[in-house]
């Protein structure tokens, strides 16, 4: 057995929810208690729980039967950056640095370390607390699969499965009514989710942020399908896709959030433009948070379990400032500092893009 350095650790889930979070929490608790005799404290609602001192002790019974559950039993928040905590004062939002409160509550609860499960925003905050002397291990989470220094994040596989299932169902109504159906996926500034789901769901056009599209080319490729007797088309568009020389469609800006800019609406805009250019009835479907929901796939359950298990091993060995990652099928750890602040985008030389093009899929370029 590895010599343990921690007696009590905290675990939190920050940012957007995704399937597999509970599997990580379960693995953290069971590994900590059963292998190392380390107590585990669950922190409610991400960093907000550390700001407000809302925590709960977690034992084996508390994490029993949560492996298959989506979401997170601890709750989460994507608006509680302790270094820039937005509070509404009158009509204005005022930002405060409440990091000292977090450290005070961390020490008050007798925590020797903190396992932070989250994406770029959550882990960026974790990095800043490393500089304040906290012991932290990161676990990468995002359905967008855009976090650097890991081949894949848990939650992505389930989101792809959810989006693919929706595209499968849309096919039948598109074919029946001879329509163009535009399906908007999540993904923020990366096209992984749209690319994978578009390929798996048989999309005819896939539009991703990494390849700005020309609307005339999209219309041309749809008309070409009609000429060949294909009276319907499925267009899968990532929420961050944009036309050549144009901008992404911003739905709203949320004050106080880790990621204040919320993308959304490109699918509806694109549907109107396609119908105007082609004369073919076109409908838009925004999948939205359906992609985040439901029970995690077997792949995500296993990956999340491995991540949670490894995070505790690192903590018990006295490691600090590291994020669990996976390269191929091998678990590794990398400095959190190296994993944040830069997004992992779809490379233009990706074999997936080449495969899609060989199938005749259009990227609008």
pLDDT tens per residue across span 300-335: 999 999 999 999 999 999 999 999 999 999 999 999
Mean pLDDT of all residues belonging to the chain? 93
Q: Report the pLDDT averaged over residues 183-191.
A: 95
Same domain, 285 and 300: no
The angle formed by the CA atoms of residues 157, 199 and 279, to the nearest 5 degrees, is 130
Among 101, 71, 77, 81, smallest CA distance to 15 is for 77
Among 25, 9, 29, smallest CA distance to 68 is for 25
Catalytic residue (one of 120, 144, 146, 204): 144
* pLDDT of 4 higher than 70: no
pLDDT for res 5: 66
For 39, the enclosing helix (H) or strand (E) is strand 39-43
Rounded distance, CA 158 to CA 297, Å?
A: 5
Answer yes or no: is 356 within a domain.
Answer: no
Are 318 and 5 spatial neighbours (Cβ–Cβ below 8 Å)? yes
Are 10 and 288 spatial neighbours (Cβ–Cβ below 8 Å)? no
Same domain, 271 and 252: yes
* pLDDT of 215 higher than 60: yes
- Looking up tokens 């469609």 gives 249
Same domain, 100 and 237: no
Q: Rounded to 5 degrees, what are φ and ψ at 362?
A: -95, 140
- Give the residue numbers spanning the domain of 330: 8-154+296-339
Same domain, 30 and 53: yes
Same domain, 125 and 173: no
Answer yes or no: is 349 within a domain.
Answer: no
Same domain, 126 and 38: yes
User: Over the stretch 58-81, which tens digit does the pLDDT of each residue have?
Assistant: 999 999 999 999 999 999 988 889
pLDDT for res 1: 34
Answer yes or no: is 347 within a domain.
Answer: no
Among 210, 203, 84, 204, smallest CA distance to 144 is for 210
Q: Report the pLDDT averaged over residues 126-138.
A: 96
Rounded distance, CA 328 to CA 130, Å?
A: 28
With a CB cutoff of 8 Å and minimum separation 6, the contacts of 228 are none
Are 12 and 136 spatial neighbours (Cβ–Cβ below 8 Å)? no
Same domain, 34 and 90: yes
Question: Which CATH number characterizes residue 88's domain?
Answer: 3.40.50.450
What's the domain count of the chain?
Answer: 2
Decide the pairing of beta strands 8-13 and 92-96: unpaired
Same domain, 191 and 268: yes
Same domain, 59 and 108: yes
pLDDT for res 145: 96
Same domain, 175 and 275: yes
Burial of 111 (0-12, 13-18, 19+ CB in 10 A): buried
Radius of gyration over every alpha carbon of the chain, rounded to an integer in angstroms: 22
pLDDT for res 306: 98
Task: Tell me the three state secondary structure of residue 302.
Answer: helix
Q: Which residues pair with 236 in a beta bridge?
A: 183, 206
Answer yes or no: is 353 within a domain.
Answer: no
Among 118, 104, 16, smallest CA distance to 52 is for 104
* b/e 224-260 (16+ beta carbons within 10 angstroms → b): ebbeeeeebbbbbbbbbbbbeeeebbeeeeeebbbbe
Answer yes or no: is 344 within a domain.
Answer: no
Rounded distance, CA 315 to CA 5, Å?
A: 8
Q: Report the pLDDT averaged over residues 197-202.
A: 97
The secondary structure of residue 7, as a DSSP letter, is S
User: Over the stretch 143-179, which tens digit does the pLDDT of each residue have?
Assistant: 999 999 999 999 999 999 999 999 999 999 988 889 9
Query: Inter-axis angle of helices 351-358 and 192-200, to 10 degrees?
Result: 40
Rounded distance, CA 127 to CA 134, Å?
A: 9
Confidence grade of residue 255 (pLDDT, cut at 50, 70, 90) = low
Residue 128: active-site member: no
* b/e 326-347 (16+ beta carbons within 10 angstroms → b): beeeebebbebbebbeeebbbe
Same domain, 80 and 216: no
Answer yes or no: is 1 within a domain.
Answer: no
Same domain, 93 and 201: no
Answer yes or no: is 145 within a domain.
Answer: yes
User: Over the stretch 338-363, which tens digit does the pLDDT of each residue have?
Assistant: 999 899 999 999 999 999 999 999 99
Rounded distance, CA 215 to CA 213, Å?
A: 6
Answer yes or no: is 3 within a domain.
Answer: no
Question: Which CATH number characterizes residue 189's domain?
Answer: 3.40.50.460
Q: How many CA atoms lie within 13 A of 220 on its CB side?
A: 9
Rounded distance, CA 150 to CA 33, Å?
A: 27
Q: Report the pLDDT averaged over residues 3-12.
A: 81
């Amino acid at each position: 057995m590895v010599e343990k350095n921690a007696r009590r650790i905290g675990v939190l889930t920050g940012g957007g929810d995704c399937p597999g979070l509970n599997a990580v929490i379960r693995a953290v608790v069971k590994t900590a208690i059963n292998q190392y005799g380390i107590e585990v404290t669950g922190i409610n609602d991400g960093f907000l729980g550390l700001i407000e001192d809302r925590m709960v002790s977690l034992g084996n019974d508390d994490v029993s039967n949560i492996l298959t559950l989506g979401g997170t039993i601890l709750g989460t928040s994507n608006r509680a950056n302790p270094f820039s905590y937005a509070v509404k004062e009158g009509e204005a939002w005022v930002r405060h640095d409440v990091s000292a409160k977090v450290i005070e509550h961390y020490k008050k609860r007798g925590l020797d370390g903190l396992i932070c499960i989250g994406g770029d925003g959550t882990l960026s905050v974790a990095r800043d607390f490393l500089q304040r002397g906290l012991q932290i291990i990161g676990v990468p989470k995002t359905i967008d699969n855009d976090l650097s220094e890991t081949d894949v994040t848990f939650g992505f596989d389930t989101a792809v499965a959810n989006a693919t299932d929706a595209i499968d169902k849309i096919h039948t109504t598109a074919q029946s009514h001879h329509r163009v159906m535009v399906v908007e996926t999540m993904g923020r500034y990366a096209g992984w989710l749209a690319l994978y789901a578009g390929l798996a769901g048989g999309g005819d056009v896939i539009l991703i942020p990494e390849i700005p599209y020309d609307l005339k080319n999209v219309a041309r490729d749809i008309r070409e399908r009609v000429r060949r007797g294909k009276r319907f088309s499925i267009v899968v568009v990532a929420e961050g896709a944009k036309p050549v020389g144009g901008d992404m469609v911003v739905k709203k800006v949320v004050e106080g959030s880790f990621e204040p800019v919320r993308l959304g609406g490109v699918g509806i805009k694109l549907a109107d433009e396609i119908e105007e250019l082609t004369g073919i009835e076109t409908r838009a479907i925004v999948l939205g948070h359906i992609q985040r929901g439901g029970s995690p796939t077997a792949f995500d359950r296993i990956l999340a379990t491995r991540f949670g298990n490894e995070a505790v091993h690192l903590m018990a060995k006295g490691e600090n400032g590291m994020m669990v990652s996976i390269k191929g099928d091998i678990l590794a750890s990398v400095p959190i500092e190296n994993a944040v602040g830069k997004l992992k985008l779809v490379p233009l030389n990706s074999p997936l893009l080449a495969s899609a093009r060989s199938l005749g899929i259009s990227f609008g370029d």
